[in-house]
Structure 1
Amino acid sequence: MLNKMDDIHQLEQLDKQHFLHPTSSIEQQQTLGPAFIFREGKGIYLSDVKGNVVIDGMSSLWNVNIGHGRLEIGEAAREQMAKLAYSSCFATFSNEPAIRLAAKLAKIAPGQLSAVFYTSGGSEANDTAYKLARHYWSIKGMPEKKKIISRTKSYHGVSVGATSATGLQPFREFSGSLAPDFLHVDQFDTDELRQLIIREGAESIAAFLAEPVQGAGGVHIPPENYFAEVRKICDEFNLLLITDEVITGFGRTGKWFGIEHYGVTPDMMCIAKGITSGYAQLGGVMISKEINETFKQRSGGTFLHGFTYSGHATACAIALKNLEIIEREQLVSNAKVRGDELLAGLKQLKNESEIIENVRALGLMAAIEFKENKTTTPFSPQVVAEAAKRGLICRAVTFNGQDTVVIAPPLIIKKAEVEKVIQILRETINA
Structure 2
Amino acid sequence: MDDVVSYDESLAASDQRHLIHPLHHPKDHANAKIFVSAQGAMLRTADGREYIDSLSALWNVNIGHGRKELAAAAAAQMEKLDYASAYAGYSNEPAIKLAERIVGLAYDNMSAVYFTTSGAESNESAFKFARYHWKRLGKPNKVKVISRRYGYHGVTLAAMSATSLPNYHKMFGPTVPEFLQVAPPYPYRWPGNGDAGIGAAEAVEEAILQQGPDTVAAIIAEPVQGSGGVIVPPPTYFPKLREICDKYDVLLIADEVITGFGRTGQWFGMGHWGVKPDLMSFAKGVTSGYLPLGGVVISKRLHDVILDAPADEKFMHAATYSGHPVCCAVGLANIDIMDKEGMVERAKVQGDRFRAGLETLSSLPCVGEVRGIGMLAAIELVEDKGSRAPAKGLGAKVVAQAMDRGLLLRVRAAADGPPPSGDVLVFAPPLSTPEATLDRIVQIVGESIQAAM
Specify the TM-score bucket, using the shorter chain as the normaliser: over 0.9
1:412 aligns with 2:432: yes
Match of 1:245 in 2: 256
Runs of 4+ displaced beyond 6 Å: 373-376
Cα pair distance change 1:402/1:156, threshold 3 Å: same
Distance 2:321 2:104 in 1: 23
Match of 2:194 in 1: none
Match of 1:19 in 2: 19
Match of 2:124 in 1: 127
Distance 1:376 1:366 in 2: 18
Q: Which of 177, 188, 203 does residue 192 from structure 1 map onto?
A: 203
Match of 1:306 in 2: 318
Cα pair distance change 1:25/1:368, threshold 3 Å: farther
Question: What do residues 369-427 of structure 1 show as CA deviations (whole Å, max 9, x unaligned)?
Answer: 11137899521111111111111111011123321110110000122111111111122
Match of 1:348 in 2: 360
1:98 aligns with 2:118: no
**Does the 8 Å contact 1:139/1:299 carry over to 2?**
no
**Does the 8 Å contact 2:145/2:219 carry over to 1?**
yes
Report the number of matched residues. Answer: 427
**Does the 8 Å contact 2:132/2:315 carry over to 1?**
no
Residue correspondence of structure 1 range 151-300 to structure 2 within 5 A: 151-188=148-185, 189-300=200-311
Distance 1:272 1:23 in 2: 20
Q: C-alpha displacement at 1:223, in angstroms? A: 1.0
**Does the 8 Å contact 1:2/1:8 carry over to 2?**
no
For the residue of structure 2 that corresponds to 1:206, the secondary structure is: strand
Match of 2:410 in 1: 395
**Does the 8 Å contact 1:38/1:48 carry over to 2?**
yes
Distance 2:366 2:448 in 1: 12
Cα pair distance change 1:365/1:2, threshold 3 Å: farther
Distance 1:191 1:41 in 2: 45
**Does the 8 Å contact 2:218/2:252 carry over to 1?**
yes
**Does the 8 Å contact 2:392/2:422 carry over to 1?**
no
Letter in 2 for 1:272: A
Cα pair distance change 1:375/1:94, threshold 3 Å: closer
Of the structure 1 ranges 316-325 and 355-364, higher mean CA displacement relative to structure 2 is found in: 355-364
Distance 2:391 2:20 in 1: 30
What TM-score does the superposition give when structure 1 sets the normalisation length? 0.97
Match of 2:396 in 1: 381
1:421 aligns with 2:437: no
Distance 1:120 1:329 in 2: 26
Question: What do residues 269-306 of structure 1 show as CA deviations (whole Å, max 9, x unaligned)?
Answer: 00000000001000000000111011101253442101
Unaligned runs of 5+ in 2: 186-199
Q: Which of 20, 38, 44 does residue 41 from structure 2 map onto?
A: 44
Distance 2:158 2:398 in 1: 33
Cα pair distance change 1:264/1:391, threshold 3 Å: same
**Does the 8 Å contact 2:381/2:390 carry over to 1?**
no
Distance 1:165 1:104 in 2: 29
**Does the 8 Å contact 1:2/1:50 carry over to 2?**
no
**Does the 8 Å contact 2:382/2:391 carry over to 1?**
no
Q: C-alpha displacement at 1:33, in angstroms? A: 3.1
1:317 aligns with 2:329: yes
Distance 2:52 2:315 in 1: 45
Distance 1:130 1:303 in 2: 13
Q: Which of 56, 61, 86 does residue 59 from structure 1 map onto?
A: 56
Letter in 1 for 2:246: D
For the residue of structure 1 that corresponds to 2:406, the secondary structure is: coil
Distance 2:303 2:392 in 1: 50
Root-mean-square deviation (Å): 1.5
Residue correspondence of structure 1 range 63-82 to structure 2 within 5 A: 63-82=60-79
For the residue of structure 1 that corresponds to 2:430, the secondary structure is: coil
1:141 aligns with 2:152: no
**Does the 8 Å contact 1:372/1:403 carry over to 2?**
no
Letter in 1 for 2:378: A
Distance 2:350 2:3 in 1: 37
Unaligned runs of 5+ in 1: none
